[in-house]
Every structure is written in C-alpha cells, then in structure tokens.
Chains A and B, each alone.
Chain A
Amino acid sequence: MEKLSAKSDHIYLGEAIVKKALAVMIQHNLVKFQASERNNNVAEYTMIHHNVYCLIRYPKYLYMIKRIYGTSEEILLEILLNLGQASASNVIFHSANRLNEANDSEVLSPSALHQSFQRLAQDNFIIRCPKLAENATLLKVPTLEIEEKEKFAVPNVEIEPIARMLKEKATQLGGHCDSEIIWRVNHERFDIELRNVILVNAAARRVDTTAGELYHLILKLWRESSNPDSPVTTPVSYNVIKDAVRKNDSSPILLEHFDHYLRVLYEDSAGLIDRAGDAGGGQFNLDYSKVFENLACASLDSIVLERFGSKALRLFRLTRIQKFMEQDQMQNVAMIPAKEAKMFTYKLLEHNFLQIKELKKGTSNFAPVKSFILYHVELPQVVRTTLEASYKGLFNAMVRQMHDLTENQRLLEKHAMLESMLERLKGDGVPDEEIAELSDTMPPAEKSLVEKIHLMSDNLTLGQTQADETILILESYLKFKSKEL
C-alpha cells in the first residue's frame, strides 16, 4: 500500500508518468486503490498479484471461449481484455467494428452481439465492476461498491445508437445509457475453467476421449450444485448423471456404455470421481485436494524422470509411497545396485526432492552414537521448490524473449515494413518482377536471421505457456491443501 507521493519519490521518472502508469494499471485491474485511513483525500494503491500473473493466460482464455461458444464471444472477450474495463455498449460497438474489418460484409448485428454478451455474463465469465457510490463524485478518492446480486446482471442496452454509429463508421461511441455500468474479465471463473480443462484432459488420457466427455458433463453438474470455494463437491446421484447424458447430445458410444465408463472412472486410483454413497443409484463427488495431489505427484514424477532418469524415478516414487525409508531398504526394494542407488539418492537430496530425518539411537554412553537416517518426501515442500523453479523458468523465458526482440528491433521493424509494402503492392497488382526486386533489397542472410528470431520467440512463448500449466497444477495443489487444513 503506497501513497502517490511515496511512489513519486521512489521512481525518478517524473510525476506525470507515474500518474499515467497508475491510471492505466487501475483501468486494467492490476492495481486497486482505497482512501488512506489518515487522510481521506489521498489514495493508497495495492497491486493485485494474481491478475498481473494472469496476463500470460489471456490467449488461453480466448481459446477456451472460442471452443465453448464461438467467434463473436471470442471477439467480445478480446475487446474487453484490450480495454480493461468497459461498458457493455462500448464492447459491443468495438467488437462490431472489428468483425466488420475482418469480413467485409456486415455479418453480425449489434443485437446478436448483445445476446453473446449476455451469454458470457450468465456463465460468469465477465463480471461487473463495483460502481461509484452516491457521493463519490464529491470525494477525492471515489468509493466503489457492488451488491452480490448485481454482479452479473446485464443492463438494457440501446441497440439503435450503436447501429447508427456503426453505419457512420465512427471510431468512438459517444455517451450512452449504460456508460456507468462497467464490466471486466472474471479471472476466478477462468481459473476454475482452466482447472476443469486439466481434469477433463486427465480423464481422457487415463481412459479415452468418451470418458473425457462424460467427465466434462459431470463436472458441469458439480459446478452447478456446489459452492465454488469448497474443497469437496456436493454429491451427485447416478440418475441425475444419466439424465444429463441423455439430454445432452452425447456420442452413441457414451449412451451405450455409460455405466462402464462411470465405473472405470470411479474405480480408477487417480481419484477423478469418488463414490460417496449408494442413494439414488450411487452418489458421486469429487475431492479436489486428492485429485490435485495425484496430479501434482504425477508432475513431480515426470520432472524427476526427465532430469535424473528412470532409476531415480523409482527411488523417488518408492520413498513417496512408503513414507520413510532407510538407504539400504531403498536399494533393496527398488532393485538398483548399491552404488547407483546412493548416487541417485544423493542427487535427489541435493535438489531437494528428498528430505532427511535423523533419529538417534543412543544406547550406552561409550559406544559411538548411531543414528538412523530416514529419507522421506515432504510433498508440500517439494511442490513449493518446484513451483519456484517453474516461476524462474518462466521468468527466464520472458527475459530472453524480450532481450532478443529488443536487440534486433531495428531489423525486425525493417522486415515488417518490407512485408507490409509487398502485401500492398501485390494487392494493387504490380508485376511480379518489381515485387521480386523489392524483396531483394533485404539480403537473404538478414531474412534467415529474421526467421530464426521469430522461431526462437515462438518457442519461448510455447515454453512459457507450458510452464504456466505446470504452475497451475502445483498452485492448485497448494491451494486445496491449505484449505483442507
């Protein structure tokens, strides 16, 4: 929490820049403010860490929305992400503009976009920002408040002014009736959705795609009936699931073998479905902490496998499952020769995948004190270390990408300009020889360098996305573990 004057002292950029930067960050939901306790005219600013981290997940959000709904919802969300906070009319207006640019025919009318907007709000992917309190305009630091029931209520949007502005090709929507009702992206809902995607993929990999479909349906049922904050979902009965499968347009295989799939899923050791009772043909629920513990362990296993090899993995899994083991016991049960076992044990210990517990066995005072050295895996600690390492990897990828792009900025800009010129000329119908001549102004060595830079930048982006998935699994495990305590 810092005051504006404190910030200006720390950052020698100049007060105007600091103010602009703060305003932009507040607009994009990265920083929040409240009136300072001592002096009501001054605001104190806090950073919302989670939202800043979620910036990297924006493309994933768009992909999910595209898959669940379609293009118009995707464009609405993209516009909202670009603007940070905006009113419904504004978002609809800009989306219509963007769609018209993309296809030259006016495919979607504002009212269709309005319906898409309502769909997004109904499923809670977008949420209303708190509105200005009544006397807020008189205060130096406005207070913002919102009631629970208003959070997802879409106001009436007047379509005609929007349609009119679109026809006039205006770039800005002027004043409009719902300009005080501001929306933003609902990060928590997207987190839940990302987690569900991981679970459905796990089910699909464990059994097969039809099982994934079934699991997706069951997840929806759970979500409708349970409190999102609880670590265990409310049980759902067999008959309800069967009805949902029949109502939903599922594949015929699922309808036929629905029983079998359900049974396979709940007997599986991954804990994707737990059988909680027998009423109504069987009650099924999901224990998030158990599922995410299994997923986190699986992630750790694959990390150990890739870094140290399969023998080390055997030792790691053994120790994790057996809780406490001595060195000799480990090498006997894992059936690995002594020297190798010792080497791998030490390596795992060095990288903090194994922890040591010493138990003294002091008997007489004269004999040397013997102690048992027991190895164990303390899961929360190991997960936290791996999480830190993942953050570091993500950070490294981002820094490297930034470095590459800024170092070669001149070259990349030159290339981009050349490309756009060539496009334009091709569109105008200039003969091929001139185009070839123009493209020769850039030597092939430079072109291949540009290619290489793009390739590296792409790989780094992919690497960041994948690191983010691991981070999501590990963070979810820690979150549900702390909830159950």
Chain B
Amino acid sequence: MGGRGRGRGNAVSFNIEQLGFGRGEAGPVSVTQPPPLFPSLENRPLPLIKDVENEYILVTQKDLSTRMRNSPFYLKPSENTSYEKELPVLWNRMPAELRETLPKRLATGNSKVTLNAKKKKVEDPDKIFAKLEKKERTESEVEEDGDGKEDEDDQDKSDDEKVEMEDDVVEDDDPEMDDETDYANNYFENGEAYLDDEDGQDDGEAQF
C-alpha cells in the first residue's frame, strides 16, 4: 500500500474513480465456498453446421475408424511375438532393429555374460554344424530367387543369418549406459590425472 504517511503526499497511484466504484459503494463480496467446477456458460454456442459435406464427413470418419480398428495395424497388447509375417508393414524399408528376432536372442545373451562364455564352449561344435548346414541351404535358395527380397519361406533362415552377424558384431546395447553418458564409468577416476598440470584444479578439497 503506497503512502503510509511518509512525507506529505499520501496519494495512491490509482484514482478510486477510475476503478469504477464510487466512494460509498462497497468492495467486492467475500467468497464463502469453493468456486464451481466449471465457470457458468453465459452464451450458448452456435449450433453445429449440418450440411451435405459434414454428413459425408461423419459417415466417412466412422467408416475409417472402424476399418482401422479392424485392420492388423491396430495393435492389441498380445503376447504374440511372431508379428513380422502378420503386420502388413514394408519391412525392408525399416531399421533392422525393429524386426522381431533380436529380442529373443539378446535377452538371453545380454545378462550373465560370464555364464555364456562357459556354455559357448560346449555348444560350439553343434552350433557350427547347424550354421554350416543352414548356410549351404540358404546359399542355394538365394541363387534360385535371384534377389534379396524377403520371402516368407526364407524368413527363418535369413533371420538366423542376421543373428549370426549379430554375434560377430560388437553389442550395441551397453547395459551400463544410462541416458547416453558413461557416468558410471567416469565417476571413479583412475588416478591418471594426478600428475598433470594442477593450475586451477583445486576444487576446494582439502589436501592433507
């Protein structure tokens, strides 16, 4: 509140008349209950336009949404993991990571790396035979087809090939990577910076 008797002019910055009350009228009424959930609607909105175009739009909208709901694109939370054949998506234009076979293999390979290392020795001979056999089969079939397009019969074999490439390639998902930083690895410094230039590196830590 301006002007508490300091100095001569105890005028306030606004003019009472300008606000719209006179001197004698009371101020706004005090509120005794919580305000209503929605403000009251003073003017009703205009009615909706219903002409030929809008009728057509209504019918088409319903039609389109029913078709979409019934189409295979409408994903329901099912446990079905073999979706690559059912979903009419153009798979050869999508990133490889969206295709389905990866999660099964990586899920077992990701955790417990040490156990796998031991297991691999036992499995290896069998795996190698299986891989070789499949490679022979796929090579002959690929020659017949002529181009590398996905065919539903070849799907399993080509998926296996991709998985083999996966095993050779460095793992993409580093389990210790949180939010794209190597914070976990950098938190504890390994002391190599100890004998570097120490100008201005004193963070205020006491040195004893």
Contact = CB atoms under 8 A, between A and B. Distances in A.
A299 to B, nearest CB: 13
A27 B73 contact: yes
Contacts, number: 131
User: Which secondary structure characterizes the binding site on chain A?
Assistant: helix
A350 to B, nearest CB: 11
Nearest to A172: B88
Given A306-B46, A342-B20, A461-B58, A20 B169 contact: no
A26 B53 CA distance: 31
B60 A59 contact: yes
B21 to A, nearest CB: 11
Given A27-B89, A306-B43, A461-B58, A19 B100 contact: yes
Contacts of B67: 82
Given A19-B98, A41-B172, A58-B64, 17 more contacts: A4-B95, A33-B95, A39-B172, A41-B169, A58-B60, A59-B61, A82-B71, A139-B96, A306-B45, A366-B9, A459-B48, A461-B61, A462-B54, A462-B57, A463-B48, A465-B57, A466-B48
Contacts of B98: 4, 19, 22-23, 26
B11 interface: yes
Instruction: List the 6 closest pairs (A to B, CB-CB), nearest first.
Output: A43-B95, A59-B60, A59-B57, A140-B96, A141-B95, A462-B48
B149 interface: yes
A345 to B, nearest CB: 10
13 contacts: A16-B100, A20-B83, A23-B94, A27-B90, A42-B97, A59-B61, A141-B95, A141-B97, A307-B42, A366-B9, A368-B13, A462-B49, A462-B50
Given A142-B93, A306-B46, A24 B73 contact: yes
Given A81-B64, A142-B93, A366-B9, A20 B172 contact: no
B204 interface: no
A282 interface: no
A369 B60 contact: no
Nearest to B177: A5
B54 A465 contact: yes
A104 B46 CA distance: 44
A13 B79 CA distance: 11
B94 A142 contact: yes
Contacts of A24: 73, 75, 87, 89
A32 to B, nearest CB: 11
A60 B93 CA distance: 29
B33 interface: no
Given A42-B172, A141-B95, A461-B58, A82 B68 contact: yes
Contacts of B103: 15-16, 19
Interface of A: 3-6, 13-17, 19-24, 26-28, 33, 39, 41-43, 58-60, 62-63, 66, 78, 81-85, 129, 132, 137, 139-142, 144, 175, 182, 306-309, 339, 342, 366, 368-369, 458-459, 461-463, 465-466
A23 B87 contact: yes
B83 to A, nearest CB: 6
B43 A309 contact: yes
B92 interface: yes
A14 B43 CA distance: 49
B148 A137 contact: yes
B207 interface: no
B177 to A, nearest CB: 8
A139 B97 CA distance: 11
B83 A140 contact: no
A144 B93 contact: yes
B77 interface: yes
Interface string B76-88: 0100010100011
Contacts of B99: 19
Contacts of A81: 64
B96 A368 contact: no
A14 to B, nearest CB: 8
B129 interface: no
A59 B73 contact: no
Contacts of A19: 97-100, 103
Interface residues of B, number: 50
B88 to A, nearest CB: 7
Interface in B177-201: 179-180
Contact of A21 (B61, B71, B75, B95): B75
B124 interface: no
A139 B92 CA distance: 11
B90 A85 contact: yes
B57 A132 contact: no
A62 B88 contact: no
Contacts of B136: none
A338 to B, nearest CB: 9
A242 to B, nearest CB: 31
A71 to B, nearest CB: 13
B173 interface: yes
Nearest to A18: B98
Contacts of B81: 16
Given A83-B88, A306-B46, A369 B13 contact: yes
B208 interface: no
Nearest to A347: B42
Contacts of B68: 82
Nearest to B179: A6
B77 to A, nearest CB: 6
A182 B91 CA distance: 13
B149 A175 contact: yes
Contact of A141 (B42, B96, B169): B96
A339 B172 CA distance: 71
Contacts of A63: 53, 56-57, 60
A432 to B, nearest CB: 28
Contacts of A458: 58
A13 B77 contact: yes
Contacts of B91: 23
Contact of B73 (A28, A139, A307, A366): A28
A72 B53 CA distance: 19
A60 B57 contact: yes
A83 B64 CA distance: 12
For B42, B43, B73, B148, which residue has the most chain A Cβ atoms within 10 angstroms?
A: B73
B90 A20 contact: no
